[in-house]
Chain A
Amino acid sequence: MAGIKTASGDYIDSSWELNVYVEEMGPDADPVRLRVTGDTHIGGVMLQIVDKIQLSQNWSDHALWWEQKKMWLLKTNWTLDKYGILADAKLLYTPQHKPVRLLLPNMRSVLLKISFSSPVFRAVIETCRILNIRHPEELSLLRAPEEKEKKKKKDKDTETEKIHDLTGLVLPGGSTQQMYKGMPAYFADSAETEECYKVLSVSQTNLTPEHITKIYKPGSVVDKTQINSRWLDSSRSLMQQDVMTNDKLWLRFKYFCFFDLEPKYDMVRINQLYEQARWAILLEEIDCTEEEMMVFAALQYHINKLSLTSDPLAQHRDSKLDDLDSALSHLEVKLDSAAPTNVLDSIEAIPELKDNLRLFRPKKLTLKGYKQHWVIFKDTSISYYKSKDEARGEPLQQLNLKGCEVVPEVNVPGQKFCIKLLVPSPEGMSEIYLRCDNEQQYAKWMAACRLAAKGKTMADGTYQSEIQNILSFLLLQKSNPDCQIAADAENMNTQALVSPRYQKKFKAKQLTPRILEAHQNVAQLNLMEAKMRFIQAWQSLPDFGISYFLVRFKGCRKDEILGIANNRLIRIDLSIGDVVKTWRYSNMRQWNVNWDIRQVAIEFDEHINVAFSCISSNCKIVHEYIGGYIFMSTRSKDQNTALNEELFHKLTGGHEAL
């Protein structure tokens, strides 16, 4: 052992003193002094430390961190000499896993212990394992943007809103996860963790327009490049990148090629993805048209409603069961109503609607208003008569609504409940408006029209639920103007479903019918389907999945935008925003980075060479993005192949990996 002294107290072996700071002693405490020699190995050093401080606790997660060199001394069998550690080295004995505040894609924060010693790539894999997200290679960590002092104070109360503590979670050892109550077993331990799982897997429903307007929105492409400068380096550890305990980090989907989304296993993953997509749209990070926005809004509304009404954790149940349930309950309803009368009716009678409605058929050059008619809705057709008395004769007109377009024209405060029908016929479309007196009537007729448009009759099992859908939607509009603040769970604000641009463009009463119209196409989806549909619609946007970087191409004088997508690189003119050129990875021969001048050079087939220097962010990030996408494309369909970490680092690591 080191530290053999003569009687005079001089050390006669080549030992020297090593100072090690111990995290647990506090930042101001004196370092622990150890007597070591150059061939003491790291494990021995750690043993001595523990011996010295006499603090009984679990030290298994602790390791030595070399401050000056910014490196972990993880190889316990290496000697100090081998590491090149001398007496002046400042070492810190500290846990490898430290808590951070992680902002998830759904804009919720969790407190989570994350590895500060392994490369970020690995740390993300571990984190995702806890969060129950498959395919962690698609995600990565970003630094949180630096908050301005002023803002910080103002938002203080909301800032502390809620951070769910996941540090207590203990992952089971086995590789197969057991499910309990529809969630991984380790989440089902306590009420708090169950709550946390809900945070992860259930979407946020009580947004208000203020929520959205408050959050930073990128205004230009250059703004959009900013976020990409904050990605952490996947091949280095958090500690190496100056992340501190309790820092705020963002977890985001970084590579926009989502492998094998499977509602069965991916409750959390799909929800997080949906939320990221939703925020991208609400914050105008990605542009869409008005029509598309209405579809997004309708899907959000639908998802919100389902998240509130049904037990989201029961969602993993077979959807067929739900179908069965609804069929059964429908049957019940049917039998109930039929009980007093004849059984036969219940078997083959298709419900009809008969009522006095005001009808309006726009014709060229006439300004006739609505006129009262006796209208009968039978099967998929409506017939109308001058009056009830004439209902035995020939109707004035009969329209089969199969394949027609149904457009709601509703204004609840104005008590206007119109249904606009565009009924196709060989000659074209005939337009007809039905005006109802109240919500109840409107909901019944509207539901019937919608079903008929799909070729179904009111005997269809979905009729009742359709009516309920419509009624609940109308309720939305009703309560809106009165109690703007009331953001209780039952009341969703339609304005919060669209981005601020459309919040400004439409008043709530204009918005509701439009969302309602879009909603009819998605009303039958279940929760997971709706989320998937949202993700798909997001993916269908032309600008989907492009990460922007400000670069300067070799030989050019002005800055340009480089877009990196999952299959191609895009050169975009900064001023006009036009795509100048597209290169596909499939044509790429090789790429390399000159770290000194921060230039990325890429060679494509047919001797096309492209080189650019990165301005908005470190060229390591660009390099990693390109390599990462190429790595993503190498993933095989086979479920069981383990993630090839080595390959990832080879493709993304840069010079450090070599």
Chain B
Amino acid sequence: MEQACDDIDQMFSNLLGEMDLLTQSLGVEMIPPPSPKTPNTEFSFSVGFKDLNESLSALEDNDLDALMADLMADINETEQKTFQAQKPSSSFQRNSFTDSEPGFSVAASCDYQSNIPAAYTQDYEDYFPPPPSPPPKPNFDPPPPLPELSEPLSKEELESKAKTDKIKLALEKMKEAKIKKLVIKVLMDDDSSKTLMVDERQTARDMLENLFEKNHCDCNTDWCLYEVYHELQIERWFEDHENIVDVLSDWTRDSENKILFLQRKEKYSIFKNPQNFYLAKKGKDAGKEMNEKNKESLLEESFCGTSVIVPELEGALYLKEDGKKSWKKRYFLLRASGIYYVPKGKTKTSRDLACFIQFDNVNVYYGTQYRVKYKAPTDHCFVLKHPQIQKESQYIKYLCCDDSWTLHQWVTGIRIAKYGKTLYDNYKFAVQRMGLASRWPNLSKADPTVTARSSSSGAVQANGQIHQKATPVISTNPESFKHAEVCKEKKPNVGRDLEQAQVQPIPSTNYQQIPKVALRVSKIPPPAPARISSQFYSSAPISLPSSVKNINTNALSPLPPPPPSSLPPADVFSLPPPCENDLPPPPDDFYDPPPDFLPPPPPCFATGNGASLQPGPPLPPPLPSSNQPKPFVKKPIPLPPKRLDMTGLHSEEQRLPRPAPAGGGQPDFMSDLMKALQKKRGSNS
């Protein structure tokens, strides 16, 4: 891991170098670039990359491979489009190689105060073609960039006001695009691990859903994402509404902290047996039974009033004194406003209480093995600290309880005081989700719209997700945005070189992957369609070293659709079928490369369609085009994708759609990943 970290800087500078090259070459071909300005643009690119790359580089090789495999799977599934898109891309490469400069020159020649925006304007114009362009065909046609590129030139003459408008727009896009992404490794309870990508809008709940999907486990409410601080020996689960990226970005680079995916019955025990917290007599353990109706009314009373009732909790706890090894016994009380203690010689009336801590800025963690580490009286410890603190510090409060039940009561009480009703909402959503999951088999045939509706009405989070899923890397995404540039500008120069250099390594990764993928598939009873095909396909590409290209180009194809955001995709995504229809036209110049590819697609398609569907396999383009359109229209519906994946096992129609968004979303990461991999390999070797 450390070694990986060392790479970061290297990667970073590599990146910068690339950018440099890029811009320089562009500049050279064009009017002499305003040299002081261009660097800025590079910078903004590289900043964007940083997060992703950083997190990528923090992964071990095999994780990367695994992630790659996952992503590959999706891509391969969309092979059809991929190879089709290749033509555009390659043409694009050429175009951009020669033509993209004008755009830059425009930007450069316009004397803006800041040329970051300038640079972006150009991007913007290229990649977010004016409204008219969205119609299906243009999006997939390679040429569009050309006309657009010429456009800026003409704009040169326009008043500055028009320009600023554009800049504004571009800036907005930039803002939207500033979405952080992290790749994280999640350890499963069976010691395996999964690597996932999180973006900063995702909550722990989204992650859980993701993991449910990957693991096909029961979606019961005990599952949690669990963070473990290695150094501090503390741990806790994320609350479902918490934003993962926010929390993770507090970790230090060299952190040995981990994220686990496991079940903890304590997570929602408050809602399963509220009487143990609200009605328990002092000093008595849990275990009293209560009928469901009473529980419900108790919860109603505690959580649904004007304010949430924090369980009454008080008692002697041991407090680790600042900087000392000793633990001092004190009488603590929990109130909605914080934890208080009774000062010496005072009574426990409210006015005498001294505030120990308030919850605004701290999280509560379980301490593990503190008897050994800190000579605590028992191992039932909890810790309160600011989430950003990662090392031992006097600002961390350590408390120790007599027994595990007391500990659990305190931790739960603090969570209620801190999060209030949100906790209950989380739980209700989790329960709802669990209910849905258990009904899966029956739902499988249900039409997607229904599931879509239910899910979107279900929860706010779900909605958030929807967008992520449906418009993954489209205009809103930083990567996509950058990608646009990268693919276009980089490919021609650096990118291409790299590709060539990499052609070899990549296949090899694929080799490595195969067993793994296979393993996973076998482990998981109902593998997502994606995986099947990946397995299938992963063998195919091996023979084709040029698969790399394939991937990269793939990145391009989804890009055009950006403008439409969430809803429009429905139309946009229905494009893919058209593109199959389009297949014939493009061939002209680019037909040469595709031939190699043509073989693979059909098989993929076959798998994609699933055994249940009509023969389909051998006749790739025509057949699909006829029956696919509908699925594609459905596909784009936001959240459902997830659900659909699961249900998709039974109905091929739903499965088919997947490629579209997946192709739209993933390929982008793909090239990022590829690059990271390449670099990694390069630097390692």
Listed in ascending order, the chain A residues whose CB lies under 8 Å from chain B are 257-258, 261, 287-292, 295, 342-345, 347-348, 403, 405, 424-429, 501, 521, 532, 535-537, 539-543, 567, 577, 584, 586
Residues B337 and A295 in contact, CB atoms below 8 Å apart:
yes
A289 touches B355 (CB 8 A): yes
**Does B438 count as interface, using CB distance less than 8 angstroms?**
no
Beta-carbon contact of A289 and B386 below 8 Å = no
Pairs across A and B, CB under 8 Å, 24 listed: A287-B351, A291-B338, A344-B112, A344-B164, A347-B167, A405-B361, A424-B361, A424-B387, A424-B388, A425-B389, A426-B389, A426-B391, A427-B393, A428-B389, A428-B395, A429-B386, A429-B389, A429-B393, A521-B360, A539-B306, A540-B335, A541-B335, A567-B301, A586-B298
Check A540 against B307 for contact (C-beta < 8 Å): yes
Please list the 9 inter-chain residue pairs (A to B) with the smallest Cβ-Cβ separation, ordered nearest first: A428-B393, A540-B336, A426-B390, A287-B350, A424-B388, A536-B307, A539-B307, A424-B386, A429-B395
For A295, what are the chain B residues with a Cβ–Cβ distance below 8 Å? 337
B353 CB within 8 Å of chain A: yes
Any chain A CB within 8 A of the CB of B305? yes
Residues of chain B contacted by A345 (CB below 8 angstroms): 113
B18 within 8 A of A: no
Residue ID in chain B nearest A501 by CB atoms? B351
Which residues of B have CB within 8 Å of A532?
Answer: 306
Q: Nearest B residue to A568 by beta-carbon distance?
A: B279
Verify A586–B294 contact, CB threshold 8 A. yes
Q: Which of B294, B387, B394 contacts A428 (CB 8 A)?
A: B394
Q: Which of A291, A426, A543 contacts B358 (CB 8 A)?
A: A291
Residues on A with beta carbons closer than 8 Å to the beta carbon of B117: 344, 347-348
Query: Would you give the shortest CB distance from B17 to chain A, in whole angstroms?
Result: 24
B570 close to chain A: CB less than 8 A: no
Total A-B residue contacts, Cβ distance less than 8 Å:
110
**Complex: A428 Cα to B362 Cα, angstroms:** 12
Does A428 contact B338, Cβ atoms closer than 8 Å?
no
> How distant is the Cα of A330 from the Cα of B95 in the complex, in angstroms?
44
B window 320-369: CB within 8 A of A: 335-338, 340, 347, 349-351, 353, 355, 358, 360-361
A269 to chain B, nearest CB (A): 12
Q: Mark B276-296, 1 if CB is under 8 A from A, else 0.
A: 000100000000000000100
A264 to chain B, nearest CB (A): 15
Residues of B within 8 Å of A348, CB to CB, are 114, 117, 171
Q: Which residues of B contact A291 (CB under 8 A)?
A: 337-338, 355, 358
Q: Determine if B428 is an interface residue (Cβ-Cβ < 8 Å).
A: no
The interface residues of chain A, by DSSP majority, are classed as mixed
Is A257 touching B305 in the complex (CB atoms < 8 A)? yes
A258-B307 Cα distance, complex, nearest whole Å: 10
Contacts of A537 in B (CB 8 A): 307, 336-337
* Contacting residue for A577 out of B349, B391, B394, CB 8 A: B349
B337 touches A292 (CB 8 A): yes
| Complex-state Cα separation, A291 to B357, whole angstroms | 10
Min CB gap B529→A, angstroms: 40
Quick check: B361 and A403 within 8 Å, CB to CB?
yes
Partner of B389, one of A347, A424, A577: A424
Smallest CB separation, B508 vs chain A (Å): 38
**Residues of A close to B361: CB separation below 8 A:** 403, 405, 424
B297's partner among A289, A342, A586 (CB-CB below 8 A) is: A586
Please name the residue on chain B nearest to A576 by beta carbon.
B347
Q: Is the CB of B351 within 8 A of A289?
A: yes
Return the CB mask of B166-177 against A: 1 if under 8 Å, else 0.
Answer: 011001000000
**A427-B393, A429-B386 known; A344 vs B353 contact (CB < 8 Å):** no
* CB atoms of B306 and A258 under 8 A apart: yes
B interface, size bucket? 35 or more
- B396: shortest Cβ distance to chain A, in Å? 8
Q: Distance (Å) between the CB of B228 and the closest chain A CB?
A: 16
* A100 CB to nearest B CB, Å: 30
B388 contacts A403, C-beta separation under 8 Å: yes
Is A347 a contact partner of B305 (Cβ separation < 8 A)?
no
Q: Is the CB of B306 within 8 A of A288?
A: no
Chain B: which residue is nearest A502 at the CB level? B351
Interface set, chain B 115-171, CB cutoff 8 A to A: 117, 164, 167-168, 171
Q: How far is the CB of B274 from chain A (nearest CB, A)?
A: 12
What distance in Å separates the Cβ of A256 from its nearest Cβ neighbour in chain B?
Answer: 10
Of A258, A289, A290, most buried by chain B (CB within 10 Å of CB) is: A289
CA distance A424 to B294 in the complex (A): 44
A50 to B416 Cα, complex, angstroms: 67
Q: Kindly state the separation between the CA atoms of A216 and B422 in the bound complex, as whole angstroms.
A: 40
* Nearest CB on A from B351, distance (A): 5
B312 within 8 A of A: yes
Measured between C-beta atoms, what is the minimum distance from B235 to chain A in Å?
17
Scoring B298, B312, B353, B360 by chain A CB atoms within 10 A of each residue's CB, the highest score goes to: B353
Does A426 lie within 8 Å of B252, measured CB to CB? yes
Nearest Cβ in chain B — how far from A506, in angstroms? 13
- Neighbouring A residues of B297 by C-beta, 8 Å: 586
Q: Which residue of A lies closest to B297 (CB)?
A: A586
Q: A289-B353, A342-B113, A345-B113 are in contact. Are A542 and B386 (CB under 8 A)?
A: no
Contact present for A536 and B350 (CB under 8 Å):
no
The reply to whether the CB of B399 lies closer than 8 angstroms to some CB of chain A is no
Q: Which residue of A lies closest to B314 (CB)?
A: A542
Q: Give 20 A-B pairs besides A342-B113, A344-B114, A347-B117 with Cβ atoms closer than 8 angstroms.
A: A257-B305, A287-B349, A289-B337, A291-B337, A292-B350, A344-B113, A403-B388, A425-B388, A426-B390, A427-B391, A428-B392, A429-B386, A429-B389, A535-B307, A537-B307, A540-B307, A540-B310, A541-B336, A541-B350, A584-B279
Is the CB–CB distance between B306 and A536 below 8 Å? yes
Most buried by A among B350, B361, B393: B350
CB distance from A425 to the nearest CB of B (A): 6
The residues of B that contact A541 with a CB separation of less than 8 Å are: 335-336, 350
Closest to A577 in B: B349
In the assembled complex, the CB of B4 is this many whole angstroms from the nearest CB of chain A, namely: 19
Given A291-B355, A343-B164, A577-B349, A403–B386 Cβ distance below 8 Å? yes
A405 CA to B361 CA in the complex, in Å?
8
Which residues from 534 to 591 on chain B have a C-beta closer than 8 Å to any C-beta of chain A? none
Q: Is the CB–CB distance between A428 and B350 below 8 Å?
A: no
Determine the distance from Cα of A133 to Cα of B289 in the docked complex, in whole angstroms: 41
Distance, CA A328 to CA B250, complexed state (A): 35
- State which of B168, B309, B335 has its C-beta within 8 Å of the C-beta of A289: B335
What is the CB-to-nearest-CB distance from A290 to chain B, in angstroms, rounded to a whole number?
A: 7
Partner of B355, one of A290, A343, A426, A501: A290
Do B360 and A542 touch across chains, with their CB atoms under 8 A apart?
no
In the assembled complex, the Cα of A539 lies from the Cα of B305 at a distance in Å of 10
- In contact, A289 and B388 (Cβ under 8 angstroms): no
- Among residues of B, the one whose C-beta sits closest to the C-beta of A566 is B301
* Bound CA span A336–B180, Å: 34
Does A542 lie within 8 Å of B350, measured CB to CB?
A: yes
Residues on B with beta carbons closer than 8 Å to the beta carbon of A540? 307-310, 335-337
What's the Cα separation between A577 and B301 when bound, in Å? 26
Q: Which residues of A lie under 8 Å from residue B252 when comparing CB positions?
A: 426
**B164, B306, B335: most-surrounded residue (chain A CB, <10 A):** B306
Contact residues in B for A426 (Cβ distance below 8 Å): 250, 252, 388-391
Q: How far is the CA of A536 from the CA of B309 in the complex (A)?
A: 10
Give the chain A neighbours of B391 by CB distance below 8 A.
426-428
Name the residue of chain B whose CB is nearest to the CB of A345: B113
A566 to B284, CA, bound (A): 24
Q: Closest approach, in angstroms, between the C-beta of A95 and any C-beta of chain B? A: 39
A202 to B336 Cα, complex, angstroms = 28
A261 touches B164 (CB 8 A): no
Measured between alpha carbons, how far is A621 from B25 in the docked complex, in Å?
90
Is the beta-carbon distance between A289 and B340 smaller than 8 angstroms?
A: yes
A73 to B333, CA, bound (A): 58
Name which residue of chain A comes closest to B393, CB basis: A428
Q: How far is the CA of A329 from the CA of B336 in the complex (A)?
A: 37
- A578 CB to nearest chain B CB (Å): 9
Q: What's the Cα separation between A403 and B395 when bound, in Å?
A: 14
A261 in contact with B351 given A403-B388, A586-B294 (CB within 8 Å):
no
B360 to chain A: which residues have CB within 8 Å? 521
